[in-house]
Structure 1
C-alpha cells in the first residue's frame, strides 16, 4: 500500500514516542458492516530526504469510504505543508458507514402526501437520502429547504434541490435560533411545519428547540450510522495514528470501539466542528488535545489538523 506523506513547515522533530494522554481544542485558538480498504496519498518531502530516514507522523481520516478526499486535498494544498524535511502519512481509516433507518420507507409517502413549510437537512448523507426520496416521489414541491452547513448545501445543489436557508453557523442550535417562522403559516393562523429527515442517532436539539418556538416538527429517522468493521491492516494503522480526524460523534464512538483492544494512548483529535469536539470531551479526551474550527468546514478542519501536528511537535 502506498503511503501519502506531506511535509509540515517549521517542525523541528516528529516525536513518535509522545504520550497522548486523553484529549481539547483550546478555545483561545479555535481551529479546529463491511471491510473497507485503507487508502493513502503520495510521498512529498521538502528536501529530497529519503523517506526511509524520516520518522512519519500518522494522520487518520475517519469519514466513510470515499468521503475523505476533500480533507486530503485541503491538507495537500496547505501552503505550510510544502517545505519541511519532516513527513506526515495520511491514511483513510473509515469509522462509520450508513444504513437505512427505521423510518426510511416512510419518507417517500410523506413527501407525496403532505406539504411542509420547511425541510431541514443537517448533513450530506441526509441530503443524499432526501434527494433519492424526492426523485422517487416524483419531485414534489419541498417548500423551503434549510441546509445546515456549506457541505450539506453543496450536496443538495448537486442533486438539483434549491437551498432556501442556511444558518450563520453549521449547528442545530444556530438553525433553531435563526430559522424564521413561515409567513404563510402566520397568515393562516397555524404553526410553521417542518420535516426533519434525521439520523437515528441525532440528538433532539433541533426538534425540541423548534417546537419550543412554536414549530410543528415531523421527524423521520431515515438513516443510521453504524461502526465500520476494520481489517487487521486498518487496526494496525489506527494503532500508529497520532492524529485522528472526526466529522461526527458517531465517528468518535466508532473509533473508540474499534481501538478498544489497542494498548496505546489515544490519538489527538482534529474535529470538523464543535459538535464532534464535544463528543470527544464526553468520551474523556482532555480538552487541551482537541482541535476544531470556530465554524465547521473542510478548510477549518484542515487548519485544525495542522494545529494538532504543531501541538505534537511542541511537546517533543
Structure 2
C-alpha cells in the first residue's frame, strides 16, 4: 500500500512539473509567435481533423489594406506580383499570405465644398495645387459642373494624383520630384508672368479639412498668395464585426495617410490583439505611426512614395516577421 501511494505521489509531481514547463516555455515565445497567437487559436477552434491531422492551416502573414473601399486594387495587385514577397512566402515553410480590405477612412463634404465651383468660375489663379487622388476627384467634379472654366497651371503631388487628374481631362503642368507637400513647396517655381507684372504668384489649394498647413504655410513664406478651401473631409470608417475580426488577425497594416493611421488606432483600441506592423506609402504616414505609438523598428516605408515602393515596404515587414525579428 505504501509503495502504491508513493507511485501516485511521484506521478502527480511529474504532471505538475510538465505543466510548469509548458507555462514557462510559453512565456518565452518570440514576438512573431505572440503576434500569431490569435491566428492559431482561431484555427484550433475551426479545424477539422483527418486521421489525427489538421486540415486547416492558418496563414502566417495577414495584410490589411486600409484605404477607402474600392481604392485598394493597385496595391493589392502590386503585392501579388512582388517578387520579394513571393520569395519570402515560398521560403517560409508552411506559410501563406492573406490580403484583406479593411477600409479605415471614408470621405465626406468639407465646409468649403459648396464654394469650390463658385471660386473656379469667379477667380483667376496662377496655380492650382492638388495633393491626392481624392482631392483630384473633388476638384474635377466641381470643375466639370461649372462648365470647365479656365484654371491656372495644375500642380499634382505624386503620380497617382497626376493620373487621377488626367482621367478627367485635366493637364498637369508640374509634379515635384518627391510626392510630398514639403517637396512641392521647395520646387514649385514662381510664375514669371506674375513677377513681371509686379505681383505675387497666386495659388488655389483645394484641400482636406484635416490636411496639415505644410503646403499653405511653406508657399506663403516664399511669397505666394494661397487660397485654401477645405473641400472634403476624411472620417473614420465604422467597421463591421467581420472587419474587426480581420483586424485582430492582421500582422501588417498598410497606411497611405495619417487619417488612416489614426482611424486604425481608434478602431483597434478596444480589440484584444497585438499591434500590427505598419507598412506606409511614405514618410508622412511613417511620422503619423510614430506619433501614434508604433516603435520605429515596426514601421516600414520607401524613400520615394509610390505603389511599388509601398509594396516593397510590405515585403520588408514580411521579411522581418519571417526572421522573427519583429
TM-score (norm 1): 0.84
Structure 2 unaligned residues grouped into runs of 5+: 1-29, 38-53
* 1:172 and 1:206 in contact (8 A); partners too: yes
Counterpart in the other structure of 1:215: 224
- Is the aligned partner of 1:120 residue 2:129? yes
- Is the aligned partner of 1:97 residue 2:112? no
- Is the aligned partner of 1:135 residue 2:152? no
- Is the aligned partner of 1:153 residue 2:162? yes
- Deviations 1:54-100 (CA, angstroms, capped at 9, x unpaired): 54321100000000000000011112344615211100000000000
Give the match's secondary structure for 1:229.
coil
- Deviations 1:256-275 (CA, angstroms, capped at 9, x unpaired): 01111012221100000000
Give the match's secondary structure for 1:52.
coil
User: Between Structure 1 and Structure 2, how many residues are aligned?
Assistant: 275
Structure 1 residue runs of 4 or more that deviate by more than 4 Å after TM superposition:
13-16
Counterpart in the other structure of 1:268: 277
Aligned-partner Cα distance in 1 for 2:129–2:192: 17
Choose the corresponding residue for 1:191, options 192, 200, 212. 200
Give the match's secondary structure for 2:178.
coil
Give the match's secondary structure for 1:294.
coil
Counterpart in the other structure of 1:4: none
Name the structure with the higher helix share: 2
* 1:14 and 1:86 in contact (8 A); partners too: no
Question: Any residues of structure 2 matched to 1:272-283 within 5 Å, and which?
Answer: 272-283=281-292
Counterpart in the other structure of 1:173: 182
* 2:31 and 2:324 in contact (8 A); partners too: no
Q: CA deviation at 1:14?
A: 11
- Is the aligned partner of 1:17 residue 2:26? no
TM-score (norm 2): 0.81
- Deviations 1:135-155 (CA, angstroms, capped at 9, x unpaired): 011111111100000100000
Question: Any residues of structure 2 matched to 1:18-33 within 5 Å, and which?
Answer: 18=35
Structure 1 unaligned residues grouped into runs of 5+: 1-12, 21-49
Give the match's secondary structure for 1:104.
coil
Aligned-partner Cα distance in 2 for 1:114–1:16: 59
Aligned-partner Cα distance in 2 for 1:19–1:234: 17
Counterpart in the other structure of 2:75: 71
Aligned-partner Cα distance in 2 for 1:270–1:98: 22
* 1:241 and 1:267 in contact (8 A); partners too: yes
Aligned-partner Cα distance in 2 for 1:54–1:60: 16
Aligned-partner Cα distance in 1 for 2:55–2:310: 27
Aligned-partner Cα distance in 2 for 1:145–1:97: 26
